[in-house]
């Protein structure tokens, strides 16, 4: 299977999982993406994580606040 890279990904050699998120803000060349917390259960539906992605990782287009994007996170399963 060929290894494809999508718009944004975190560094590291661990197994990764693609998740959807929303751009919260862009500060100093860093895109802050909010994703649902992977360990949050039904008791805590509004628990989010902030993922910090350098803007250079977005090659196809420059994201703006409120945009939906996908990012790679380390898969802990």
**Hey, where are the domains in the chain?**
22-65
Predicted local confidence at residue 61, as pLDDT? 87
């910090």: which residue's tokens?
52
Quick: pLDDT tens for 1-37.
Answer: 445 554 455 555 668 888 899 999 999 999 999 998 7
Whether residue 74 has pLDDT greater than 70: yes
Q: How many CB atoms lie within 10 A of CB 10?
A: 15
* DSSP bridge partners of 52: 32
How far, in Å, CA of 25 to CA of 21, rounded?
Answer: 12
Sign, CA torsion 76/2/56/59: negative
Lowest mean pLDDT among 42-46, 52-56, 59-63: 42-46
Quick: pLDDT tens for 59-73.
Answer: 888 899 999 999 888
Predicted local confidence at residue 25, as pLDDT? 95
DSSP 37-74: -TT--TT-TT-EEEEEEEGGG--S----TT-EEEEEEE
Sign, CA torsion 35/40/41/42: negative
């Amino acid at each position: 299977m060929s290894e494809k890279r999508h718009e944004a990904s975190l560094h590291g050699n661990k197994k990764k999982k693609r998740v959807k998120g929303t751009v919260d803000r862009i500060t100093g060349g860093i895109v802050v993406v909010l994703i649902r917390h992977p360990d949050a259960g039904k008791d805590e539906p509004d628990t989010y994580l902030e993922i910090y992605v350098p803007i250079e990782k977005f090659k196809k287009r420059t994201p703006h606040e409120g945009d939906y994007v996908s990012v790679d996170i380390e898969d802990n399963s």
